[in-house]
Amino acid sequence: MLIKKALSMLIILVLIIGCKSSIFDYNKNLNSYDDSLIEKIQDATNKIEIGYDDLPINIITTIEKSFNNKSFLFELKADGLGYELVYSDLNTDETYFKKIYFNLEGRKLISKKDYNKRNSDCFELMYPVTFIMPDDSNITIVNEEDWEDLKKWYNENPDSDERPSLQYPINLVFTGGNIILINDDNEMSEAKSNCIDCIELVYPVTFILPDGSLETVDYNNDESWIVIKNWYEENPNSEFNWNFQYPVDIILNNGTIISINSLNELDMLKQECN
């Protein structure tokens, strides 16, 4: 869709800063959580399914920036409250579906219980992969389009709350291209545990654009990211280049915050992660 093409540069900006996972998590505000609104959306009885293109632009931007490798199955709107999105994800503990929530303006809602969780997207499924559905039928996913078959099954079985299970063995493709054979849930859990981020970038940060201009971005402020995207759209002949305005702060996985003063220091830290 057009919005995906328009945000392709934005995705590059986010994904290029990877450690073991493909992005740094944003620094969450410890004093600001949205559990109350999340619970209201979860309990709402007036939720209706809407189309992807009917979502607020802020939600679409967040999806393209942080969830671009997920397959979204349902987009639900709770009138007067916000949005619930359901997507497929192997990196959960006992289910292959996850939910994220947004307010009416499209801001991603943050739950207190999610603090200290690390991004674990260091691998992807190698197709084909087969899911065993709650009625014991099988759905084989060969490409991205086949995820619609999962959505269709749940549309045809609206009373089913059970999640599908994977049919092992499966192959996982890790960052860097390594392919690992996974034979059971225990091996899957071990693979996920090896994907824990060792560092997070503390936002806001300032990027130095190729013309020397500065742009400060906050992970949860879509408008600031769009400014950078727009700059490259307005300068199509400009070679893609970026740098932080140093120093930047990094959170280690033990909670320690350290200051990084150069790209070399950042590269050395990322190498230690690997």
Task: Note the pLDDT tens digit of each residue in 86-109.
Answer: 886 654 444 456 789 999 999 888
Residue 97, both tokens: 């579906």
Alpha carbon separation from 79 to 47, 205, 233, 267 (Å, rounded): 7, 35, 35, 46
Residue 219 has pLDDT above 90, yes or no: no
How far is the C-alpha of 88 from the C-alpha of 108, rounded, in Å? 18
Q: How far apart are CA 39 and CA 99, in angstroms?
A: 12
Sole residue written with tokens 């390594």: 178
Q: What's the token pair of residue 62?
A: 């967040």
Instruction: Quick: pLDDT tens for 180-198.
Output: 899 988 888 777 766 655 6
pLDDT of 151 > 90? The answer is no
Mean pLDDT, residues 39-45: 93
Residue identified by tokens 């209706």 is 48
Burial class (CB in 10 A: 0-12, 13-18, 19+), 174: middle
More confident residue, 119 or 26: 119
> In 194-252, where do the E strands start and end?
199-201, 205-208, 214-217, 248-252
Domain limits, the chain: 1-28+196-274, 30-114, 123-193
Q: In this model, does residue 118 exceed pLDDT 80?
A: no
* Phi, psi values for residue 138, rounded to 5°: -115, 140
pLDDT in the model for residue 23: 29
Mean pLDDT value across the chain: 74
Against a cut of 0.85, is the pTM above it? no
